[in-house]
Amino acid sequence: MTTVFSLLDSPIGELLLTGDGTSITGIWMQSHRSEWRRTREWQREDAAFAAARAQLTEYFAGERSEFNLPLAAEGTDFQHKVWNALCAIPYGETISYGELARRIGQPSAARAVGLANGSNPLPIVVPCHRVIGADGSLTGFGGGIERKRWLLAHEAQHAKVSGDLFAGA
């Protein structure tokens, strides 16, 4: 199967979007822990990622808090369970790995949840950056702690602004 890709400049560096022509299979950052390697079978098709590029651009502009994109992440059933739970974490909020484990009905699986979180191939869209240590520390993020810090600060800033727009309504 041919992999299609697109590159997107963002405030946290260039993002590599990968897909199968229909769904997004990966979002990779420069210096991402999981290194990607382009092969000759890869084809650049920016048009295949028009919706993803638009939605990510809106997110970075503070105009979007949720994504509506076709996703096809490869993973185990457990990883998919964790990744689905990540999508339920509200924009601008954080939870601990332990809390995420409780939310999927496996309160003793915080470490396994952490591993699944770290294997998320769709960061930002599947917001693994919203999971932090039980003590509030910024732990583990494939794109690096500085990017995680930026994403959380960005969401906190825009979540507050969004909330103020509806105050007293």
How many beta carbons lie within 10 A of that of residue 161, not counting itself? 11
Q: Give the list of residues 6+ apart from residue 134 with CB closer than 8 angstroms, or none.
A: 96, 97, 98
* Active-site annotation holder among 73, 100, 116, 128: 128
Written as six digits, the tokens of 16 are 């590599």
Question: How many CA atoms does the CB half-sphere of 155 hold within 13 Å?
Answer: 18
- The radius of gyration of the chain from alpha carbons, rounded to an integer in Å, stands at 16
Active site annotation includes 128: yes
- Amino acid residing at 30: Q
Catalytic residues: 128
